[in-house]
Structure 1
C-alpha cells in the first residue's frame, strides 16, 4: 500500500474514504467499503497487479484520507494515544484491500480552509477524487462547519458522487443501539471488557511491539516472559492479566498460522516494586529466542486486575492459576 503525507505524491485519480479511522473498526469498514466496491466494478476486467512505483492513468486508486496528528491532539496540545498507531493502521487498511493512505498534515493552514476550499483544493485539485465516502457524522472545514450533507452538495457541483454511510450500531446487549465509535471502544477497553471491545472492532484488539530485554525475573520462577516495547502512542487497556494469542510477525505485520497461546500482564509489577509500566507475555510451551522479534499480541479475555503479592512464591502460584484459566478459555 502506498502511504504519503504529501498530496503531491499521491497516486491519482482517487476514490476517497474520508475520516479519522482510529481503530479501523466495524463502522470504519462500512465507510471504506463503497470505494472498494466501486473500483472493483470499474476494474473487474483489469488483471494488472497494483504497483505504486508504476502508476497508471487507466485506474482509480482506492484511497483512505485521514489526518496527522489526530485533530484532538492538535487542538488540545496534548499527546493522544491511538487504538491503531500508523503501522497498525496501514496493516489493517492493507488487509481490506485499500491501495493508498494519505495523511493530511493537520495544521493551522488546513484548519483555516472553508468546507468549499477543502473540497476544491484538497479533494478536487490535489487528489482528483472521482468518488467520496464518509460517515454520517463526518465534519470538516474551518470550525467543523461542514457536514456530510454539505460535502455531498459541494461535490455535486463537480459531478462527484458522495456516499454517506449510516452509523453502525451495536447489537450487543451491553450497548443496545449505541453507535460504534473509537470512544466507545476506548471506554470498553479501559474497563477490561476485552470481549465486547473485540466485537465492536470486528477483530481482536492487538498490541504490536518488539521484544526487548527486561529484568528476567520471570525465568527465576519458571515463567519466562517476553518484554514488549510498544509504540509510545499506543492505547493500553485496563492493567491486569489477559489470555492472549501471539504471532511472530515481520515488518508487514502479516499474520499466518494459528499463533501461540499465552498470558500477558500489563502493569507496574508491584510485587517486585516496579515503578514503570511494562507489557510482558508468557507463551505456553515455547522454546526459543524472542529478543529483537516483532510480536502481534491479540487480547482474547481479561483474567484479573494486577495485584501485589506478599512474595515471589505467591506470585508464582497465581501465574500458574492464570495459565490454567487461559488454557481453559482456549480449550487446551
Structure 2
C-alpha cells in the first residue's frame, strides 16, 4: 500500500499501511503519552447523510442511535439473524451526516448491506475514504492534526471503551480494568490535511507512530476489533462487547433475540481471554494460532503484540468450559509456549451471574 509516510526514517510499510518507523516499543510510549499520532490507513470512512439516518441506523443495528447528539461518540454492530457479528463501526454524527469509521476489510461489505437496506428512507450512504483519512492517538495528540472546520462539529471519534455505555453491560471481573485509563480517539482529516501532516512529519515537526504500536495498546486494553477478533461464529457477548456496542433495552433489530437470550438465560459458548506469553517475545503467535490445554485444542489466538510494559501479550477466544486456572499452551513457529490467562469473559457470564472480582495479573512494576 502506497503511503505518504513511506519516506520517514525506519518506515516499514506493507499492504496494511505504515507498520512502524523503526521502534514499535518507543512508538507505543509516545502514543500513550500524547506525543505521537498514527495514520490509520487500515480504516475506511463511510458517510451516511439524510434526515432519516439516525433512526434508520438505530433500526438496523445493536446501538440506540435515534437521539445521538452531534459530537457524541459510540459504536454499533450489525448482527445476523442468529446474533453473530457481521459488521462493526465507530460512530460520530455532526448534525447533518453520520460518520462511520470501519476496518477497511469490512467497508465494502457494510456499505453494500446498508445500501440494500435503504428502501424509501431519506438516507444515502457512501464511501468517503477518498475524502478523508483517519489518524489515531490520545485526545491531546490528535489536537495537532484535527481538520479545520470552523463552526462545525469536529470529526473526532472518542473511544468509549471500556466504560459501560447506557444500555450496555460489562462482563470482565477484574478491578481495575486494564483499559480504565485508555485515552484513544480517531480523527477524520481531509486528504489535503493528510499531506500537510506528512510534510510536518518529514520535517521533524510531528512524531508519527505505526499501526503495530496502536494495536499493542489495543490488545493491552482488551479492546475488541472486527478485523482481529471477529469470525463467522462470534457473538458480542464472547468479546465483552456489550459494554460499548450493544444497547440491551432498545427497540428491535436483527439478532436481538439471540443477544437477549444469551445474556439473560444462558452463557456465551466461547469467551475471550487475555494471555501473558512466556518467553522473550521474539516470536509471537500469529492470528489463528492454536491454544491448548495439554494436547486438547480449546481455542485460537486473535491478536498478539509485544507491549512496552507488559511484554508479549495476546487475546484469544477459547471454549467456555476451559478452566480459568489452567495454564495454556500456544502454538508458534518455534513450538508451543506457555501462557497465563486472565479472565475477560467469565464462563458463567450473564445477567444473573455473581462473578467475584479478580486481581489483575501484570508484569508492570508497582507504582512508586
Using the size of structure 1 for normalisation, the TM-score is 0.28
RCO (CA 8 Å, sep 6+): is it higher in 1 or 2?
2
Using the size of structure 2 for normalisation, the TM-score is 0.26
Larger radius of gyration: 1
